[in-house]
Structure 1
Amino acid sequence: MNRADDGGELAAYRRCERISATHGRTYFLAARLLSPERRRAVHALYAFARSVDDIVDGSVKDAALQLDRVEKRLRARLDERDPGDPGEPVLFAVSDTILRYDIAPEHFWIFLDAMRMDVAEAPLFRNRYATMTELREYMRGSAAAIGLQLLPVLGTVTSVAEAEPAAAALGEAFQLTNFLRDIAEDLDRGRIYLPTDELTAFGVDEALLTHCRRTGHTDPRLRRALSHLIAVNRDLYRTATPGIGLLNPRVRPAIRTAGILYAGILDEIERSGHEVFARRAVVPTRRRIWVAAREFTGSMRDPRRPGLGP
């Protein structure tokens, strides 16, 4: 396998690091608790996912064709077992990471298919989900696959297969948190990711969501629906928690940190009175730094600690 010169390789990974720092603050902070080699691999995986998301966010012309091109170029690099030209820094870094850590390529094809579900001209397109089962099928590619991509990078103390269910659940938990936080932004893009039947049970329909977006205020019916879905989301985090103990002890603080901080977004939504149309829920910087520092020092005392709790 031919690799780029050290300068080109380093520049490619640094590009991924900048993307992660700009767009994935929680992931970036958690990744700082990893070893440098694992950290740069996590940045590469994040940057690839982000670059694909940028294609499907509605601003790129011929998005479906662009996704096909990304998949074709990635498949070629993996088939040739060569990460290719570092002049395409994200594609180079993710290819290099997949090859270095022997990540199963199917996790990337499943991810790309889920992204096609967000593209209006693609055959797989969907922008509404009737049930949680339908939504979880989307999240299998958009989120669970990301967790499965990360497992070989993080390392496990058991078989990868045994650790996969919890890793997938954590990916889904992160994604559902995004959907709850970003209702307004998704609605602006013509998408509703919250299951229709779950909303209908509380008297919420698309017209009410549009009204809430226009007024910037969360109707009491939607507030009750969000409370229910936050409980569902927290159950996903609880399902994922035991899996942290299956990871390499050195990476557990980083994953605990990411889990605590992402679950903390749910706390911020509640603290705002569920006013998701008035402001974007974020965990304050001071708390993010405090959690990361606590998890790092806690791991120094007891690296076996597996939980996501405070």
Structure 2
Amino acid sequence: MTDTSRTDPVPTTADRRDYARDLPAAYAACEEITRREARNFSYGIRLLPAPKRAALSAVYALARRIDDIGDGDVPGAATAEAKLAALERIRVSVQQMRAGQPDPTDPVLVGVHAAVHRYPIPLGAFDELVDGVEADTRMDDEAQRTGEPARPHATFTDMEIYCRQVAGSVGRLCLGIFGSRPDARASGYADRLGIALQQTNILRDVREDLLNGRVYLPTDELARFGVDLRLDEHGALADPDGALAAYVRFAADRARGWYADGLALLPLLDRRSAACAGAMAGIYRRLLDEIAADPASTYTGRRSLSGGAKLVVAARALMGRS
């Protein structure tokens, strides 16, 4: 789910207000966070009608906060111990929402609480997201202690579990707001779509993650392809024999299968919700195709689509075209 940018600040004492008594202000704060930070998701969220847009912005803002804690982008959460403590506070906040007692001075928590009362949002998915970010935090701590990149995923099954925690969870949170026609498979489709997006993130961010001491790619697959994941003398991903490019194309092709499965969700949604989900998925799927076509484009930095390309994808989604 890594759609990274800076985090929303926690209100200071001087800023505190009773957002529980001013829900429009709470939602407005969440929508501002989404506009500012959701570089890809915002193109889909803006296609929703106002009530769903506000609710999904609140869900995004809380998910963003959890992710930012893991990345160390929240004040006071620089060490592993501080990050884990901050994540535990998120768990407590979710429990308080279940009890109907969100912090009234926190617009994000107030917004999510209101959204949960309006839509069948599975709050437990936030706990799964926290589980995934806690795994990242422990991985970072291991890398700092050993001086070597952490490699927590021995197999693709291991990576799939992680992707389900940090991104499948977000797919299921979104589905709670979208709603769907009765179909027992809907939650599974949303889960698979989120996992597809996270696989794209991982392929996009191989270099950045390596610099941060993280290797998400399955160890057994890298060995099978003969990939020695390292940086060359110029700071780019080394790929002297093309093994890494071959692996990226293999992994991208697999991710396409997850997209194909997950996009079966769209016919179960109303038009605007389908457009939102289609735009989100379409932006990442197009990025995946570009990475597969030119794996070396990710060796020196993060690849992304232009704003114009994202708008085209969103427009096509609104017209019901993938």
Which category of TM-score, normalised to the shorter sequence, fits these structures?
0.7 to 0.9
> 1:186 — aligned with what?
209
Cα 1:215/1:102, change in 2 over 3 Å: closer
Report the CA distance between 1:200 and its aligned residue. Answer: 1.2
> 1:281 — aligned with what?
303
> 2:83 — aligned with what?
63
Aligned partner letter, 2:182: T
In 1: Cα distance, 2:305 partner to 2:95 partner: 38
In 2: Cα distance, 1:14 partner to 1:209 partner: 44
| Partner residue of 1:259 out of 275, 278, 281 | 281
In 1: Cα distance, 2:239 partner to 2:43 partner: 31
> 1:303 — aligned with what?
none
* Structure 1, 124-133 or 21-30: larger mean CA deviation: 124-133
User: TM-score normalized by structure 2?
Assistant: 0.83
User: TM-score normalized by structure 1?
Assistant: 0.86
In 2: Cα distance, 1:190 partner to 1:124 partner: 9
CA displacement, residues 236-279 of structure 1 (integer Å, 9 cap, x when unaligned): 10111211111223311121111111101112223444321223
1:49 aligns with 2:68: no
Q: Does the CA contact (< 8 Å) of 2:93 and 2:102 recur in 1?
A: no
Mark the runs of 5 or more structure 2 residues left unpaired by the alignment: 1-17, 144-149
> 2:119 — aligned with what?
101
In 2: Cα distance, 1:258 partner to 1:268 partner: 16
> Partner of 2:217: helix, strand, or coil?
coil
> 1:302 — aligned with what?
none
Cα 1:99/1:188, change in 2 over 3 Å: farther
> 1:14 — aligned with what?
28
Cα 1:5/1:124, change in 2 over 3 Å: farther
In 1: Cα distance, 2:306 partner to 2:233 partner: 25
In 1: Cα distance, 2:234 partner to 2:91 partner: 36
Matches within 5 A, 1:224-263: 224-263=246-285
Q: Does the CA contact (< 8 Å) of 1:15 and 1:89 recur in 2?
A: yes
Q: Does the CA contact (< 8 Å) of 2:56 and 2:177 recur in 1?
A: yes
Q: Does the CA contact (< 8 Å) of 1:83 and 1:96 recur in 2?
A: no
Report the CA distance between 1:234 and its aligned residue. Answer: 0.8
* Structure 1, 120-129 or 21-30: larger mean CA deviation: 120-129
In 1: Cα distance, 2:285 partner to 2:277 partner: 12
In 2: Cα distance, 1:246 partner to 1:105 partner: 22
Q: Does the CA contact (< 8 Å) of 1:20 and 1:28 recur in 2?
A: yes
> 2:147 — aligned with what?
none
* Structure 1, 93-102 or 177-186: larger mean CA deviation: 93-102
CA displacement, residues 23-54 of structure 1 (integer Å, 9 cap, x when unaligned): 22221011111101111111111111111111
> 2:135 — aligned with what?
117
Aligned partner letter, 1:49: A
Aligned partner letter, 1:180: L
> 1:5 — aligned with what?
21
Cα 1:202/1:272, change in 2 over 3 Å: same
> 1:77 — aligned with what?
97
Cα 1:96/1:65, change in 2 over 3 Å: same
Aligned partner letter, 2:207: A
> 2:157 — aligned with what?
133
In 2: Cα distance, 1:107 partner to 1:217 partner: 37
> 2:171 — aligned with what?
147
Cα 1:48/1:264, change in 2 over 3 Å: same
> Partner of 1:260: helix, strand, or coil?
helix
1:202 aligns with 2:218: no
Q: Does the CA contact (< 8 Å) of 2:96 and 2:102 recur in 1?
A: no
Aligned partner letter, 2:103: G
> Partner of 2:192: helix, strand, or coil?
helix
Mark the runs of 5 or more structure 1 residues left unpaired by the alignment: 300-306
* Structure 1, 107-116 or 28-37: larger mean CA deviation: 107-116
> 1:294 — aligned with what?
316
Query: How many residues align structurally?
Result: 292
In 2: Cα distance, 1:229 partner to 1:93 partner: 37
* Structure 1, 135-144 or 91-100: larger mean CA deviation: 91-100
CA RMSD of aligned residues (A): 2.5
In 2: Cα distance, 1:242 partner to 1:39 partner: 22
Aligned sequence identity (%): 31
Report the CA distance between 1:210 and its aligned residue. Answer: 3.5
Q: Does the CA contact (< 8 Å) of 1:253 and 1:295 recur in 2?
A: yes
